[in-house]
Structures are given as structure tokens and as C-alpha cells.
Chains A and B, each alone.
Chain A
Amino acid sequence: MSDITLKITDREGILHEVLAPTDMAMNLMEVVRAYELAPEGSIGVCGGMAMCASCQCYVKTNHELPEMGIDEDMMLAEAFYVEENSRLGCQIQMTLKMDGLEVELAPEI
């Protein structure tokens, strides 16, 4: 098995412990959608191009995340409720290194 475990707190503050596959080229935004942890249409609006910030989340663990690209950085510069630990879920790929990752979804805009 190549599944990893994630802890995701949804926008209502409910914590979900979910399994995510690492062999499906999925990113965190897609995991949230797959488990329906946020209503359709309120997350992943741009499809994962780092162009809408609807998948913004706060990273609560010290995992070594993929480096932030220019698109994500610039999108977060225009997003709301941005904190030091904000990332776009669509830019975090599900790999074995992400096992145990804990995130909280940022408020919907």
C-alpha cells in the first residue's frame, strides 16, 4: 500500500482523518474534493492552476513541502485571510513524504 494519512480540518472546524493515495498523481485540493470535505464549486475552482486560491489551506505540521512556485506565490499575494503558513492545496502533491500532514482549509471567499 502506498496510501498516506492526512488530517484535514474543514471550514466548519471538523477534523477528518483521511487516506490519500500517492500513486494517482493527486494533490491536496483533489483529496479534499474526493472526500467532499468542502462543497463542490467552493474549492478547486480553477481546476488546480494556482489561479483562484479557493484551495488555500493552513499547514500545521513541519513537513518539507514542495517549494512555492511563482504562480502560487503571486496568487497568495492577492488572496484573503493569508497567514504565514498558507499554501494552495492544488500545489501540494501527495507523496510518501506528506504522510501525517495536517492542514486546515482557509475560509471560503
Chain B
Amino acid sequence: MITTDILIIGAGPTGLFTVFEAGLLKLKCHLIDALPQPGGQCSEIYPKKPIYDIPGFPEILAGDLTANLLEQSKQFKPGFTLGERAETIEKQDDGSFIVTTNKGTKHQAPIVAIAGGLGSFEPRKPPIPNISEYEDSGVEYMIKDPEVYRNKKVVIAGGGDSALDWAVFLTNVAEEVTLVHRRNEFRGALDSVDKVQELKNLGKINLITPAEIKGILGAGKVTGVAVEKKGEAPFIVDADHFIPLFGLSPKLGPIGNWGLEIEKNAIKVNNALDYQTNIPGIYAIGDVNTYPGKLKLILCGFHEATLMCQSAFQRIFPDKKYVMKYTTVGGIDGFDGTRKEAPKAVVKAIQ
């Protein structure tokens, strides 16, 4: 069991900044995220895109914002459960909550802060009629353990970085790698595209473009896929594994069944006070919440996180009175023993 003060669901910008604000109040945080890396949408969808409305940053790339937020909060030593989706929540007799992920990892905390954005990112599944029948027997939407593909025949579909990168990687593992994309052009980083071109020329990647996978074959497990080139009759490519890599899309998912008041796919909160939900002790901050006048902006998430931490502190320590201190005045004492503080003025007489 992982225990912490504030359990944050979602490691996007709002969740990451919560670690910093909580740290100022000496509260420890642990974050759960379905993605394998922190940053949420900023790292998954648009890491190379600029954001222009982060106060104090005339322009910052989403990926750099994520890196900065991690750097800003690192002295408060947040814990991470990445690549797992928060599945269930159970309230305990002492008022705390136990949140369990889809992989069974349990987390206990007196405060839960849902900073889940638009939800957890789920793979986009191509609309091939019988695809779900093969989900545990040859169809994988993400690659967890490349060894599974050793000496196997693999077909990858998609045109982005992950399709290109995995196609390249698996040439060293699999018996045969086929890459299918609807266009001749690829969207991935230039060197990945060049690498695929090189491996294609060497005959190590079987590139089929412009084409689409129209069907999956096999009794009980994948033995091949039906590939259709535009305007031509479909043909069969033998395969032990079919890996469609069409990116991820966010879904509110299991959080929608936690008994929270939901409106327009977002969690209703009390914005007059502390962004608490209808369940005391559970807060919702950032894009995942809604209230009159809500704006889904990163900067609003930062503000919500800050006020939420104050309320969390009061819930955990009802008898303590917190006196707000400016970081410039009080400095920052990390949980790792580090201290940041404003340099002292030097007083020296002029002779």
C-alpha cells in the first residue's frame, strides 16, 4: 500500500503544480497517471507546440513546461504510479480513501485530488469489425514488452512516431516487420522516417502504402491480416501480431462511476470555496472540473490547485492555523533536506 497526504489522479500540469503547492504546506503527494510519462496532454499530444498564456512565459513549449514543473516540485519528492489507470475508490472508516489501479496497485490518502484533464488516455482502436475478439490473442494497441515479438511476424499500422519507432525497433527482434499506412507520407520525426526508408531498402521492413488493414484472420488467435491498397483487391499478410498504433484519446473512464456529480463530462465542484466535489475529501481541479464560468486553461488549473491545497491542509489538520508565507520571504524547505532561499543582502561600509 502506497500512503501519502494528497493522492493526485493525473500527472498533467495541474497535478504537477499541486505537488509544489502541497509541498509548501509540508504535505506529501503521490500521482497516478495512465500514461507512462508525466505531463498529460502536454507531453502526449503537443509537446512541441508553444503555449502563450502561461503567466511569466511569453512562449513556452508544452514539453518544456512539463520539464519545468517537474523541476519546480522535485524537492517535494512526489511519488508516481505511471502507466496505470485509477480504477476504484473506497472510503475507509477513518475518512481516508483507498484508490486501486487497473493493475491492482493500492494507494491510501486522506485527500484525493482529481486532476484528470479530459480523462485517461486510451488507445484509439481502428473500426475493424472483429478486432475485439483478438485483443488478448495477437492484437496489441501498445507495446509493453518487445520480447513478446521475438521471432514473430508483426504487422504495425499507423503513420506517427510510435508506429515508425516501433517498426524500426522490432526489426531487431521480430522475424518479419510489416508497416501499413494509409499514405506514402509519414508524420513522424525526420530521422525516424529516414531510418524506416533505410530499413525498407535493406528489405528489413515490408512497407505497404497507401493501404489499410480491413480485417483480421485466425481461429482464436491472429494468423494474418487483410490489407487493402486503395482501389485494389485485398490481400493477406501472414502475422502473429497486429499492432495498430493510431495514438491515444482521453476518456473520463472509471472516475465517472465514483459517485461524483458529473455535468457535461466534467466533475462539478464548489468554486466559491475550495474545488471540493460532492464527496468531502475528494477535490477536482484543472480541466476535469466544471463550475459556472469555468475555463479549461492551464493557468486556471494552477490557481485551483493552490486553493485546493489550503483546504486539504485544513481537513488534515483541523486544529492548525496555516499562515501563508511568500516563498521569497520564507524560502522553500524540500523533503529531501534541500533549502532554497533568497540570498541575504550584503552589508558593507564604503570607506
A positions within 8 Å CB-CB of B: 36, 39-42, 45-46, 49, 51-52, 54, 74-75, 77-78, 80-82, 109
Find out whether the CB atom of A78 lies under 8 angstroms from the CB atom of B249: no
Find out whether the CB atom of B46 lies under 8 angstroms from the CB atom of A46: yes
Find out whether the CB atom of B118 lies under 8 angstroms from the CB atom of A41: yes
- Among B41, B49, B247, contact of A78 (Cβ-Cβ < 8 Å): B247
Say whether chain A's binding surface is mostly helix, strand, loop, or mixed. loop
Find out whether the CB atom of A42 lies under 8 angstroms from the CB atom of B265: yes
What class of interface size applies to chain B in its complex with A? 20 to 34
Known contacts A46-B45, A49-B46, A77-B185; A39 and B160 CB within 8 A of each other: no
Find out whether the CB atom of A78 lies under 8 angstroms from the CB atom of B158: yes
Find out whether the CB atom of B187 lies under 8 angstroms from the CB atom of A40: no
List chain B residues, Cβ under 8 A from A77: 159, 181-183, 185, 187
Find out whether the CB atom of B124 lies under 8 angstroms from the CB atom of A80: yes
List chain A residues, Cβ under 8 A from B181: 77
- Among A40, A51, A82, contact of B45 (Cβ-Cβ < 8 Å): A51
Known contacts A51-B45, A74-B185; A40 and B158 CB within 8 A of each other: no
Expressed in whole angstroms, the Cα–Cα distance for A32 and B45 within the complex equals: 22
Known contacts A77-B159, A78-B160, A78-B182; A41 and B187 CB within 8 A of each other: no
Expressed in whole angstroms, the Cα–Cα distance for A80 and B159 within the complex equals: 13
User: How many whole Å from B277's CB to the nearest CB in chain A?
Assistant: 17
B positions within 8 Å CB-CB of A: 41, 45-46, 49, 118-119, 124-127, 158-160, 181-183, 185, 187, 246-247, 249-250, 252, 264-266
Expressed in whole angstroms, the Cα–Cα distance for A39 and B249 within the complex equals: 15
User: How many whole Å from B79's CB to the nearest CB in chain A?
Assistant: 28
Expressed in whole angstroms, the Cα–Cα distance for A49 and B119 within the complex equals: 19
Find out whether the CB atom of A109 lies under 8 angstroms from the CB atom of B124: yes
Find out whether the CB atom of A81 lies under 8 angstroms from the CB atom of B265: no
Find out whether the CB atom of B264 lies under 8 angstroms from the CB atom of A40: yes
List chain B residues, Cβ under 8 A from A80: 124, 126-127, 246
Q: List the 7 closest A-B pairs by CB distance, nearest first.
A: A41-B265, A74-B187, A40-B264, A77-B183, A40-B265, A77-B182, A80-B127
Expressed in whole angstroms, the Cα–Cα distance for A45 and B264 within the complex equals: 14
Other than the given A40-B265, A77-B182, 13 more pairs (CB < 8 A) read: A39-B264, A39-B265, A41-B250, A41-B264, A45-B250, A46-B41, A46-B45, A52-B249, A74-B185, A78-B158, A80-B126, A80-B127, A80-B246
Expressed in whole angstroms, the Cα–Cα distance for A81 and B124 within the complex equals: 12
Find out whether the CB atom of B124 lies under 8 angstroms from the CB atom of A41: no
User: How many whole Å from B299's CB to the nearest CB in chain A?
Assistant: 14
